């Protein structure tokens, strides 16, 4: 399943938020790197696929981690 432009933008926003707020330098740096590469993928700089099944396992896990606060907010607001 390929992510839509809106989904990619939401993912990049969540990753940037984690990059700014997470106390772990490793997680913050990986989130920042992935957000940057996803943004560059829009310009096809690295030809990064918009299909998460083609991503590395750590990239998929980072997106799950970054999107967790958004999912929780949606569940609370219903």
Tens-place pLDDT, residues 1-53: 677 778 888 888 999 999 999 999 999 999 999 998 888 766 554 566 777 88
Q: Show the domain range for 37.
A: 5-77
Number of domains in the chain: 1
Assign 63 to helix, strand or coil: helix
- Is residue 58 predicted with pLDDT exceeding 80? yes
More confident residue, 59 or 1: 59
pTM for this model (two decimals): 0.70
Instruction: Report the run of H or E that residue 27 belongs to, with start and end.
Output: helix 25-42
Give me the helix-helix angle, 5-21 and 25-42, nearest 10°. Answer: 150
pLDDT value for 7: 83
């Amino acid at each position: 399943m390929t992510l839509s432009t809106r989904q990619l933008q939401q993912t990049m926003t969540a990753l940037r938020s984690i990059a700014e707020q997470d106390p772990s330098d490793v997680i913050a740096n990986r989130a920042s790197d992935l957000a940057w590469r996803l943004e560059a993928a829009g310009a096809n700089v690295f030809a990064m696929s918009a299909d998460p099944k083609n991503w590395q396992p750590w990239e998929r896990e980072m997106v799950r981690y970054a999107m967790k606060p958004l999912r929780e907010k949606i569940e609370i607001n219903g």
